[in-house]
Amino acid sequence: MTTRMAHAQEPVARRLERMERTPDEVAAAVDRQEAEERQYRRHDAGPALDSRRRREETLALLRRLTPAQWRRGSIHVTLGRMTFAGSR
């Protein structure tokens, strides 16, 4: 079994892949006291999953942008001209 520290330092993708294969192994890596302190049982995972999905969608969009699209801009009300690459 992995220690809590070693488990926390693994890439998230590796932890999720392991959870997919052997959920009991990953569940056992979470300390019971830590789970109680963080109130895992009381929190709904739905909002976190929705946030993660939206982040992945945003990253997919940004990965598709061409260099010309990165230079496109708009005018932010308080920050002025902005591009995908930052303010200009």
Q: How confident is the model at residue 23 (pLDDT cuts 50, 70, 90)?
A: low
Percent over 70 (pLDDT), the chain: 69
What mean pLDDT comes out for the span 42-63? Answer: 87
Q: Output the CA–CA distances (angstroms, integers) from residue 18 to 22, 42, 67, 83, in the order listed.
A: 6, 24, 37, 39
Residue 60 pLDDT greater than 80, yes or no: yes
What mean pLDDT comes out for the span 57-62? Answer: 90
Identify any residues that bridge with 87 across adjacent strands, giving them in sequence order: 82
Q: What is the pLDDT of residues 64-76, one digit of tens each?
A: 989 888 888 888 8
